[in-house]
Amino acid sequence: MSVKMLTYTNQNTPIHRLTGASKLLFFVLWALTAMIIYDTRCLLAMFVIAVVIFAVSRVPFKQYSFVLYLILIFFGLNQIAIFLFSPLYGVELYGTRHDIVHLFAWYTLTWEQLFYQFNVALKYAVVVPIGLLFLLVTDPSEFAASLNRIGVSYKVAYSVAIALRYIPDIQQDFQNISFSAQARGIDISRKEKFGKRLKNVVSILLPLILTSVERIEKISTAMELRGFGRGKKRTWYRARPLRKGDYIAIAMILIITVACLVITFADGSRFYNIFK
Amino acid sequence: MAGSSGLSVKTIVAIGIGSALFVILGRFASIPSFIPNTNIEVTYALLALFALLYGPWAGLLIGLIGHTLKDAIFYGQPWFSWIIASGIFGLIVGLLTRRIRIADGEFGGMEMLRFNLAQLIANVVSWLVVAPVLDILIYSEPANKVFVQGVGAAISNTLTVAVVGTLLAIAYSKTRTKRGSLSREA
């Protein structure tokens, strides 16, 4: 059950050298902007910037290729679903109708629909590289410190740190439990029938959750003994001061965000209409 | 527990470990069902149980953090509308089951009914209201598509929590010592 996941590797590029806080700020603002706007011009510009940043980071392709395939599949299914459910949604949004070809039943391909789905695609294409990059270039232990830096309460930041720290351990636990269950004939793979499979999952979940509850008791006792949560603030071993590169990155994301919002909403709508 | 600054140490750790469990179960233990594109997500049984054990704040934050990490680590892109819906689900289950004292081993017929009523309400609010509405607002997706997806998720999650979640809660309550369970020997 060796499943690949996106993990951090240490490289020495301008992107890697940024502090966690500026990476996080960049990612959050970038994702929010891409979420809000539907302006094709802005999205295209952001896409180009994203690709450039990705190239600068020089992350090897095979570190994220498997995720890219997953994203493409999910993305393709979503596009098909949008068309199947609402073939004329674009017409509704843009208020005009230019037919290309009538397919079957009530399915007609229109330029408006194509343009709308192209924009949906673009929204993905803008966020995915930056999202992937954020995970590939951010040291998990620096991540909690940066969450706290941008204003999240240190207790919540610590929860995130604990989650990241224990994902590999819990994966190991899950594996051990499900292997020993399989040795006793409890199978959760595709070979088992649906009802039986559900029942078998429960019999694996139970020990996993009980050990986890025990683990929670243990860790929280240890933290309490060390006086966690007494102070209003907390310092972080991995926190680093902002450097020149960080100021450039923060300035850049602020400019991009403001510019995109201004351009998008200049005409009072979040959509860019090429049909008028 | 008023506000996040008042979280107890135990809740903080429970949020961390719960989120890690959410990530692992979401990746390895979801079973494809008969309805295409809809999985039996045992993660929501876990989320409901942790909301029941550790309260509404834990439910909210495990939903938010766990779902974000799961999406990010395995799929490279967080899908915010459903992440927020997961958080709301945990919050509602936690709020509505506050008075069940499962840590004292109390989980009989009445509590079971209460727990399932809570999860039903939480599922309806998150998947039929929050997730589709946010999908439309944030991603501007067609309404009928997101509502069909929402109905699928609501039904499958409610059934999963009803079966798996209730079984887990019963099993957990049996490991706890009941209040007043000692009796004087005659």
What CATH number does residue B164 fall under? 1.10.1760.20
Note whether A227 and A107 are same-domain residues.
no
Does any domain span residue B181?
no
The shortest CB-CB distance from B31 to any of A35, A169, A201 is to A201
Average pLDDT over residues B132-149: 86
A152, A124, B43, B82 alpha-carbon torsion, rounded to 10°:
70
Strands B39-40 and A99-104: unpaired
The pLDDT assigned to B1 comes to 41
How many alpha carbons fall within 13 Å on the CB side of residue B172? 27
Phi, psi of A186 (to 5 degrees): -95, 110
What is the rounded CA–CA span in Å between residue B41 and residue B30?
5
Binning pLDDT at 50, 70 and 90, where does residue B43 land? very high
ipTM of predicted complex: 0.85
Note whether A61 and A163 are same-domain residues.
no
Does any domain span residue B166?
yes
Which of A115, A116, A209, A221 should we substitute to test contact with B (largest number of B Cβ atoms within 10 Å)?
A209
Does any domain span residue B186?
no
The pLDDT assigned to A216 comes to 95
Question: A210 contacts in B (CB within 8 Å)?
Answer: 171-172, 175
Q: Is A205 on the interface with B (CB under 8 A)?
A: yes
Average pLDDT over residues A136-152: 85
Note whether A119 and A20 are same-domain residues.
yes
Does any domain span residue B184?
no
Which of B4, B12, B151, B160 should we substitute to test contact with A (largest number of A Cβ atoms within 10 Å)?
B12
Does any domain span residue A1?
no
For residues B17 and A216, is the Cβ–Cβ distance under 8 A?
yes
Share of chain A above pLDDT 70, in %: 99
Average pLDDT over residues B168-183: 82
Note whether A117 and A62 are same-domain residues.
yes
Cβ contact B164–A202 (<8 Å): yes
DSSP helix/strand/coil, B104: helix
For residues B65 and B59, is the Cβ–Cβ distance under 8 A?
no
The pLDDT assigned to B35 comes to 57
**Residue A27 is inside which H or E element, if any?**
helix A20-36
Domain that holds residue A203: 153-237
Domain that holds residue B127: 8-175
| Count of A-B CB contacts under 8 Å | 190
**What digits encode the pLDDT tens for the residues A34-86?**
888 888 989 999 999 999 998 998 888 888 888 888 888 888 888 898 888 88
Binning pLDDT at 50, 70 and 90, where does residue B4 land? very low
The pLDDT assigned to A4 comes to 67
The pLDDT assigned to B3 comes to 43
Does any domain span residue B31?
yes
Residue B179 has pLDDT above 50, yes or no: yes
Binning pLDDT at 50, 70 and 90, where does residue A29 land? very high
Does any domain span residue A146?
no
Residue B36 has pLDDT above 80, yes or no: no
Does any domain span residue A19?
yes
Note whether A181 and A244 are same-domain residues.
no
Residue A265 has pLDDT above 80, yes or no: yes
For residues A117 and A82, is the Cβ–Cβ distance under 8 A?
yes
Note whether A227 and A257 are same-domain residues.
no
Does any domain span residue A148?
no
The pLDDT assigned to B128 comes to 93
Note whether A88 and A38 are same-domain residues.
yes
**What digits encode the pLDDT tens for the residues A174-199?**
989 988 988 998 887 777 777 788 78
DSSP helix/strand/coil, A1: coil
Residue A1 has pLDDT above 60, yes or no: no
Note whether A95 and A194 are same-domain residues.
no
Does any domain span residue B33?
yes
Cα B82 from chain centroid?
13
- Number of structural domains (chain A) is 2
- Number of structural domains (chain B) is 1
Between A140 and B6, whose confidence is greater? A140
- Which pTM was predicted? 0.84
Does any domain span residue A61?
yes
What length does chain A have? 276
The pLDDT assigned to B38 comes to 62
Does any domain span residue A84?
yes
Residues linked to residue A99 through DSSP beta bridges, in sequence order: A110
Which of A94, A106, A117, A156 should we substitute to test contact with B (largest number of B Cβ atoms within 10 Å)?
A156
Note whether A128 and A255 are same-domain residues.
yes
Note whether A230 and A245 are same-domain residues.
no
Binning pLDDT at 50, 70 and 90, where does residue A163 land? very high
Note whether A23 and A94 are same-domain residues.
yes
pLDDT, mean over chain A: 87
Phi, psi of B24 (to 5 degrees): -70, -45
Helix A194-225 to helix B9-28 angle (10° resolution) is: 150
The pLDDT assigned to B51 comes to 94
Does any domain span residue B185?
no
The shortest CB-CB distance from B76 to any of A71, A215, A220 is to A71
**What digits encode the pLDDT tens for the residues B56-84?**
999 999 999 999 988 888 776 778 888 99
What is the rounded CA–CA span in Å between residue B25 and residue B19?
10
Average pLDDT over residues B123-141: 89
Note whether A192 and A273 are same-domain residues.
no
CA distance A245 to chain B (A): 25
The pLDDT assigned to A3 comes to 63
A34, A141, B49, B151 alpha-carbon torsion, rounded to 10°:
20
Average pLDDT over residues B148-160: 89
DSSP for A207-219 reads HHHHHHHHHHHHH
Between A3 and A247, whose confidence is greater? A247
What is the rounded CA–CA span in Å between residue A247 and residue B63?
33
What is the rounded CA–CA span in Å between residue A184 and residue A180?
7
